[in-house]
Structure 1
Amino acid sequence: MALKSKEMALMIGRMMDDKKAQDIIVLDVAEMTIIADEFVICSVRSTVQSRALCDYIEEKMDECHIPLRRLEGYREGCWIVMDYGDVIVHIFRQQEREFYSLERLWSEGDNIHVAAKA
């Protein structure tokens, strides 16, 4: 059974939380664009953490038989974009996230903040 885009996005958000990503947001953009239904956005402290998080998400999604369609920015590690079809994952270093401010650009979407574990 295939996951719905919101379920997939929330699952990825939990994966991010498992690996200590910060400020995790699931943004519903379905009514604003045809490129995706959901964006999952997080911040990390370093390029090493961004690559490790990317590797972890890809591994876990592979285990769920959900293929990665496209990957951008891995080598630089400042802003990694992972395309899972209806869900686009954005892993930012904090500086890049503040500069590009995707939440502001897509402010019409419904934001869901993924609560960090206590």
Structure 2
Amino acid sequence: MDAREMAKIVCKALDDKKAIDIKAIDISNISIMADYFIVASASNQNQLNAMQDEVDRLLYEQGIHAKSIEGNRQSTWVLMDYEDVIVHLFSEEDRLFYDLERIWKDGILIDAKDL
């Protein structure tokens, strides 16, 4: 499965769990670490955990396993590394603080609906 298809699955999982402001950043031309960053916010801890579980479940069903997951059930920022696609899940406050969209502004920002 290519990175764009993986990113689509991630965005669908996040949308299913009502994630806030899902964005995909195509970093394939500016970084060797991955092809896409997916960034989304949750309004509370339970939603953040549900988003993480759904992403992991849908990719696992496709035979794709996380290389690593940083953060735990109480974290306000979870990083899920699927090699070609890296998923960043934030509380709304942490997302504003870290502002990954600004840091990776040289990438191509794609609305999740356009994948």
Superposition TM-score, scaled by structure 1 size: 0.91
CA root-mean-square deviation:
1.0
Partner of 2:42: 44
Letter of the structure 2 residue corresponding to residue 99 of structure 1? F
Partner of 1:106: 104
Residue from 49, 53, 56 that aligns with 2:54: 56
Contact 1:51 1:77 in 2 (8 A): no
Structure 2: gaps of 5 or more residues: none
Taking the aligned partners of 1:87 and 1:77, their CA distance within structure 2 comes to 20
Which is further off, 16-25 or 43-52? Answer: 43-52
Taking the aligned partners of 2:72 and 2:14, their CA distance within structure 1 comes to 16
Taking the aligned partners of 1:52 and 1:19, their CA distance within structure 2 comes to 7
- 4+ runs of 1 displaced by more than 3 Å? none
Letter of the structure 2 residue corresponding to residue 57 of structure 1? V
Superposition TM-score, scaled by structure 2 size: 0.93
Structure 1: gaps of 5 or more residues: none
